[in-house]
Amino acid sequence: MKIVILDGSAANPGDISWGALEKLGEVTAYDITSKDQLIERMQGAECAITNKTAFDGDVFDRLPGLRYIGVLATGYNVIDLDAARAHGVTVTNVPEYATFATAQHTMALLLELTNLTGLHSASVMDGEWCRCPQFCYFKAPLTELCGKTLHIIGLGKIGKRVAQMAAAFGMSVTATPHDASLIGSVTEAGTVQVKCIPFEEGVRNADVVSLHCPLTDDTREIINKDSLSLFKPGTFLINCARGPVINEAAVRDALESGLLGGYGADVVCTEPMLPGNPLLGAPNCVITPHIAWTPVETRLRLIDMAAANLKAFMDDSPVNTVT
């Protein structure tokens, strides 16, 4: 089987191997593929491996030999699934490969906002500690998490993992699950008991709000001017879900007014980030470039799972199919 990896540099910029896929066929890997390059690069190939390279109806019409698309991610909105079905193309994704890494990154963002590690390290490297008359100093007040309340929006596997980590810091945890039928119940996250409560109640009482919900019509801009007005002054907001679950201009305003004590995110509404994004230069704001999923161990797992998906398809027993 001829296998074409269309935008491999996101998952593998050269530090790991495509070996698991190379065992299954002839692999050609491109760092990135534009829309204009897609058809030419896929000529004669039965299998496409893509992360963000889009396949619309026109692409399927022009690639009659295409049999399989393996999405090198959990999300698969870059694929026109109706067109894939119409052309008999199997599409798979890789669910849950980054649960641990995303939860870890969530806590990293929160800890950066509460402990201001980067600010103080930069100060020390600039020589400020050498010039200090006291044995210690701090540039801004730090925040202790023990005794604070974390409210999680979206209590899937990542949300539950975050709940366990927060509990280890001595935090109380509540959640608004995506499944509304769970409101009023208590859900187990490992050994942690998480009370499921309505969104408004959760954000009103929280010291930290962390987003782990899917992007749907219901969750798009769930954090907006109106919902932010429910927050306690100084609340920390974390977004390791999807950029469009917040209104970025409203978050900027909340940071400038002090309503939000800080915002930490690994995602923005348009990626790569646009120069006019309202969060650029915002106070008490930490943004990383969609890297929560990128630890070496996580990317190796991603490639191994993508290869297992393709092997199952080749064995006529496909798994993790989305068509």
pLDDT digits (tens, 9 = 90+) for 116-131: 999 999 999 999 999 9
Task: List alpha helices for the chain, DSSP H.
Answer: 19-22, 35-41, 57-62, 81-86, 99-115, 117-125, 157-168, 199-205, 225-228, 248-257, 296-314
Confidence of residue 67 (pLDDT cuts 50, 70, 90): very high
What Å distances lie between residue 182 and 36, 154, 175, CA to CA? 46, 11, 10
Contact 305, 99 (CB under 8 A): no
Query: Residues 105, 161, 242, 299: which is the catalytic one?
Result: 242
Query: Residues 96, 128, 271, 297: which is the catalytic one?
Result: 271
Contact 297, 273 (CB under 8 A): no
- Residue 2 pairs in a beta bridge with 26
105 noted as active-site residue? no
212 noted as active-site residue? no
What are the structural domains, with CATH classification, of the chain?
A: 2-97+296-314 (3.40.50.720), 99-287 (3.40.50.720)
Among 290, 224, 305, smallest CA distance to 260 is for 224
Confidence of residue 196 (pLDDT cuts 50, 70, 90): very high
Please state the rounded mean pLDDT for residues 213-220: 95
271 noted as active-site residue? yes
Query: What was the pLDDT predicted at 56?
Result: 97
Please state the rounded mean pLDDT for residues 182-191: 96
Confidence of residue 147 (pLDDT cuts 50, 70, 90): very high
Confidence of residue 101 (pLDDT cuts 50, 70, 90): very high
> pLDDT digit string (tens) for 253-297?
999 999 999 999 999 999 999 999 999 999 999 999 999 999 999
Query: What was the pLDDT predicted at 45?
Result: 98
> pLDDT digit string (tens) for 148-184?
999 999 999 999 999 999 999 999 999 999 999 999 9
Query: What was the pLDDT predicted at 260?
Result: 98
Confidence of residue 109 (pLDDT cuts 50, 70, 90): very high
Please state the rounded mean pLDDT for residues 202-223: 97
> pLDDT digit string (tens) for 6-61?
999 999 999 999 999 999 999 999 999 999 999 999 999 999 999 999 999 999 99
